[in-house]
Amino acid sequence: MERTFIAVKPDGVQRSITHKIIAKFEEKGYKLTGIKLVNASLELLTEHYIEHKDKPFFPKIVSFMTSGPILAMCWEGKDVVKQGRKILGATNPLNADLGTIRGDYGIDMGRNVCHGSDSVESAERELKIWFSPEEIVSYKKDEEAWLYE
Ligand code: UDP
């Protein structure tokens, strides 16, 4: 089954809306297989945002992401990477549709509440950065029979 890395950024934790993000994924039918609160290091975030290392916004995003705890999660289910991005909405909250997390809870790009992997490959790479293998739990949910045909 496909997996993705979803994180509630420091703004989402400080604004006490972590449950909103969790609820969206739970309600859709996805399975939570990893979750922890992390004070991320500069090294971890540099690895996470390596593709943006030379972009002008890199110092800003890293400084923001180290400003408070991040809720790191692994969610599992069919097409969860693409659907997860849809649940979160466009990167710029002002362009994000209402009904998405960023559309409902964000205004500025640098305070866009959440992160979601943009491909299956990124998801696997990011999950390795944020979680050790034993922190991702494998289990069966009875509701799966009612979610998948
Ligand atoms: N970001 C920013 N300014 C920009 C572009 C990106 O502050 O001009 C931040 C924004 O919070 C975004 C993150 O950097 O979520 C990573 O950017 P990316 O393009 O990977 O967007 P995402 O995959 O998070 O939607």
Residue 138 pLDDT = 97
Q: Is 82 annotated as a binding residue?
A: no
Q: What is the DSSP string of 58-82?
A: HHHHHHHHTSS-EEEEEEESTTHHH
Q: What is the mean pLDDT of the chain?
A: 98
Q: How far is the CA of 103 from the centre of ligand 1 (A)?
A: 15
Whole-number percent of the chain with pLDDT over 70: 100
What topology is assigned to 3-136 in CATH?
A: Alpha-Beta Plaits (3.30.70)
Domain ranges of the chain: 3-136
Q: What is the pLDDT of residues 25-71, one digit of tens each?
A: 999 999 999 999 999 999 999 999 999 999 999 999 999 999 999 99
| Tokens of residue 102, six digits | 């960023």
- Probe residue for ligand 1, chosen from 109, 114, 122 as the CB with the greatest number of ligand atoms within 8 Å: 109
How much is the pTM? 0.98
**What is the structure's pLDDT at 31?**
98
How far is ligand 1, taken at its centre, from the CA of residue 31, in Å?
Answer: 26
Q: How many CB atoms lie within 10 A of CB 39?
A: 11
Ligand 1 atom having least distance to the Cα of 115: 24
